[in-house]
Structure 1
Amino acid sequence: MDEQIYLIAQNYQTDSLGQRIPVDGPSSPVWAKLKSVSRSEWAAAGQQGLQPQLVAIVYALDYADQPVVVIGEGESARRYSVYRTYRPENSEYIELYLERKVGV
């Protein structure tokens, strides 16, 4: 684990038109190992209209289904959405598959 990332929960508020608007909730800093997605993951996700970017490997106990991950701080911070997770059997780690989206 060599990179500090931020797991961000999201809550929803209803606007005057009755639309649910996502609002960032609490942020949890955790340590992660970042790696590129495999070719097969990139191809499979691409067929579903996703744009995979990275895999963040974190301790499973640190992850509570937060849908947003922020890597970096300040102006260099990048926001990603978690589109899939994978936890190998008998492992203390979980893999978060991240894609970059506008508006996340």
Structure 2
Amino acid sequence: MDWISLIDQIELDEDAAVLGDLYEYLIGMIAANSGAKAGEFYTPHQVSDIMARILTAGREDMPTYSLYDPAMGSGSLLLTTASYMKHDGIRGAIKYYGQ
């Protein structure tokens, strides 16, 4: 069975978190199997999570904010950081920047 068929069978929850978890797992497996050196290709979610907690400490209730990652790969650090901020679904509350 191919990957697309397998992914199509996944039941999504209201925020589709399972797809993000699957993506992180697959990227980690690709990095592990490609021979990439640590930190050269993939930042483990645990590291991104700690960085996000540090960046958001004391700022969780800001109504609007900008996130910038100068070494952005997949954007997971930006998304993880956003998950700790309380923006109440306000359109335009989060501005993402990366390169």
Asked if these proteins are the same fold (TM beyond 0.5), I'd say no
TM norm structure 1: 0.26
TM norm structure 2: 0.26
